[in-house]
Amino acid sequence: MELTIRRVETQADMDDALSVRRAVFIEEQQVAEEDEIDDADRDGGWRGKVVQMVAYDDGRPVATGRLLHENEDIAHIGRVAVLAEHRKSGCGRALMLALQDAARERGYRQITLAAQLHAIPFYERLGYTARGDVFLDTNIEHRWMDLSI
Ligand code: COA
């Protein structure tokens, strides 16, 4: 596998990110499109403080995730998705490391994210710690997780 990860800079790049999210969240996990896609994804909302990343395998978009500004210390990572057939081969980890590098470069001190329960071990391997009770978002169970960077 030849993985290249880059930041979304054009609408065509954003369409690549959304193609992965549609397959994973909308089709596989049955999240409603209006819950999945928000202002950070529309009309150039992926510029400025929002950082969206896409991982390409041999030119094909296979993974994505985004970094949102929460406050000057804290960035929020979300919408982390790897196409089913590309899982368990390091794409998710490589994408997270790219998002974390982007957070560090922007001066954030901490990353927070809402982890689906099945993904907690994946984030724990990257150093994240779970916090608080289980909560429902779009009917999927989550817990908050944090990482100091
Ligand atoms: N349970 C336990 N460990 C897991 C895991 C899981 N579900 N998924 C990955 N890991 C481990 C891997 O074994 C690997 O461990 P290692 O470093 O000891 O070898 C490490 O985490 C990195 O795995 P990687 O191959 O980079 O992860 P991935 O490409 O399979 O991506 C997800 C992981 C969660 C992003 C992917 O399964 C996915 O897209 N799921 C559907 C969408 C989703 O739920 N996203 C998360 C929303 S919070």
CA dihedral over 120, 128, 136, 17, signed as positive or negative = negative
Q: Is the CB of 90 under 6 A from ligand 1?
A: yes
In angstroms, rounded to a whole number, what is the distance separating the alpha carbons of residues 21 and 27?
9
Domain, as residue range, for 50? 3-148
pTM: 0.97
Q: Is the CB of 119 under 6 A from ligand 1?
A: yes
Span 21-74, pLDDT tens digits: 999 999 999 999 999 999 999 999 999 999 999 999 999 999 999 999 999 999
For the chain, how many structural domains are there in total? 1
CATH number at residue 119: 3.40.630.30
- Ligand 1 centroid–CA 140 distance in Å is 17
